[in-house]
């Protein structure tokens, strides 16, 4: 029978603590290999560091900074495959202290820093998120990086297969973008191209989504939970009922009542559902959302990790029939001070997915709450 465990990932060095996370991915050396987590963080030295699993042990590696700059803020991380049989390669995007976009990426042999810059005449204010898209299951994956600029519009920095481009996604009609929510991709079937969906919160505390329908970009007003304005995002993922089903977006948010809500697509219409909060608690912050499968043919089940007002970790999860709140507690003798990242791992391509939720504790160390099947 499976169980949850807390593990201390420690700090990048004995003297440099973790200030914030910058993104997390799982890596595969080939399509049949076990997934290996990579968790990128910004240290108190304003440098990028990564905590990664080599298959036998955890390591910390110093990724440094963009030349002549320091790391100011995260945008997110993603993996890229050059073809369906290739190894996955991590890309982590950050904002430098000059308000420009940078990427630290693995080319298959070494790590590189590349300057993505900013849209002409603009500065990058904060990240919305990163996804990779592909035109078909055998095509190369291409990163799309969504950011909010200093004029409170959304832009995307994207790779077309030969060069990087900046595209102005604008803002919802008669609105400005106040806060990011998150990004996901949708496939209408397993052989379809991937379509990005980027969710944001506008100045009237409503959710909007900028999405690609296959031929053009659209802005859609998702509204807000009944009687409750949206305070901040909690994470975005896509679910599917089985291997051949269409993917369906789920956007989790925190209301001003410090409770969790989800805006989700049921296949024909959008819905708002009130997820509430852990018994006797309010939600302080969000860690991340993942989708979990018991096997490759099973439906996917959302897990939304949050921090309660008691500085403990909780998860709101779907068992296939009903939603539940579960108390994940804290590492022994510590409290959860800052949010981190969430990912799922598979030990083999046919194995159950296992959630890993990374957080930062009050001693500026990285910890992970993870599920073991044994």
Domain ranges of the chain: 3-372
Helix (H, G, I), strand (E, B) or coil at 161: coil
Q: Quick one: 322 exposed, middle or buried, by C-beta within 10 A (0-12, 13-18, 19+)?
A: exposed
- What pLDDT, on a 0 to 100 scale, did the predictor assign at position 296? 83
* Strand partners of residue 338: 360
Residues in the chain where the model's pLDDT stays below 70: none
Distance CA 2, CA 116 (A): 43
- CA-nearest of 144, 242, 251, 245 to 192 is 245
- The strand order across the sheet containing 154-159 reads 124-133, 142-149, 154-159, 164-170
Distance CA 290, CA 270 (A): 20
Distance CA 174, CA 314 (A): 37
- CA-nearest of 143, 139, 244 to 187 is 244
- What pLDDT, on a 0 to 100 scale, did the predictor assign at position 243? 84
Q: pTM score, two decimals? A: 0.97
> For 143-172, b where at least 16 C-beta lie within 10 A, e where not — what string?
bbbbbbbeeebbbbbbbeeeeeebeebebb
- CA-nearest of 131, 129, 112, 144 to 73 is 129
What value does the CA radius of gyration of the chain take, rounded to a whole number of Å?
A: 19
- What pLDDT, on a 0 to 100 scale, did the predictor assign at position 129? 98
- CA distances (Å), 311 to each of 84, 287, 288, 314, 339, in order? 41, 12, 16, 10, 10
Q: Quick one: 19 exposed, middle or buried, by C-beta within 10 A (0-12, 13-18, 19+)?
A: middle
Helix (H) and strand (E) counts in the chain: 0, 28
CB 122 within 8 A of CB 149: yes
Alpha helices in 63-127 (DSSP H): none
CB 39 within 8 A of CB 55: no
- What pLDDT, on a 0 to 100 scale, did the predictor assign at position 209? 98
Domain covering 3-372, topology:
Neuraminidase (2.120.10)
- What pLDDT, on a 0 to 100 scale, did the predictor assign at position 374? 83
Distance CA 216, CA 253 (A): 26
- What pLDDT, on a 0 to 100 scale, did the predictor assign at position 168? 98
Q: Residue 240 phi/psi, 5° resolution?
A: -150, 150
In eight-state DSSP terms, residue 229 is -
């Amino acid at each position: 029978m499976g169980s949850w465990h807390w593990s201390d990932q420690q700090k990048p060095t004995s003297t440099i603590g973790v200030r914030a996370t910058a993104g997390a991915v799982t890596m595969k050396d080939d399509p049949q290999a076990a997934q290996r987590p990579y968790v990128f963080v910004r240290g108190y030295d304003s440098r990028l560091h990564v905590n990664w699993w080599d298959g036998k042990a955890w390591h910390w590696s110093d990724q440094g900074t963009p030349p002549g700059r320091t790391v100011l803020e995260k945008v997110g991380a993603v993996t890229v495959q050059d073809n369906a049989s290739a190894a996955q390669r991590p890309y982590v995007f950050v904002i430098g202290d000059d308000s420009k976009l940078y990427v630290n990426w693995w080319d298959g042999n070494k790590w590189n820093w590349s300057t993505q810059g900013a849209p002409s005449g603009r500065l990058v204010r904060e990240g919305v998120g990163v996804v990779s898209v592909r035109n078909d299951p055998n095509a190369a994956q291409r990163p799309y990086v969504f950011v909010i600029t200093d004029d409170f519009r959304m832009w995307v920095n994207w790779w077309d297969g030969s060069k990087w481009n900046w595209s102005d996604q604008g803002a919802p009609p008669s609105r400005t973008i106040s806060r990011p929510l998150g990004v996901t991709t949708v496939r209408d079937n397993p052989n379809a191209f991937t379509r990005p969906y980027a969710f944001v919160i506008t100045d009237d505390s409503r959710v909007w989504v900028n999405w690609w329908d296959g031929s053009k970009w659209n802005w859609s007003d998702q509204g807000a939970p009944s009687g409750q304005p949206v305070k901040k995002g909690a994470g975005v993922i896509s679910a599917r009922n089985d291997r051949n089903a269409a993917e369906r977006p789920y956007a989790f948010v925190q209301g001003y009542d410090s409770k969790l809500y989800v805006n989700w697509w049921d296949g024909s219409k959008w819905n708002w559902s009130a997820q509430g909060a852990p018994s006797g608690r309010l939600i302080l912050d969000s860690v991340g959302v993942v989708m979990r499968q018991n096997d490759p043919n099973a439906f996917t089940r959302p897990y939304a990790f949050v921090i309660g007002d008691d500085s403990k970790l909780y998860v709101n999860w779907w068992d296939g029939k009903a939603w539940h709140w579960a108390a994940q507690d804290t590492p022994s003798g510590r409290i959860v001070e800052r949010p981190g990242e969430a990912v799922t791992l598979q030990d083999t391509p046919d194995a159950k997915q296992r959630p890993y939720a990374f957080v930062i504790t009050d001693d500026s160390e990285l910890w992970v709450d993870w599920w073991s099947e044994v």
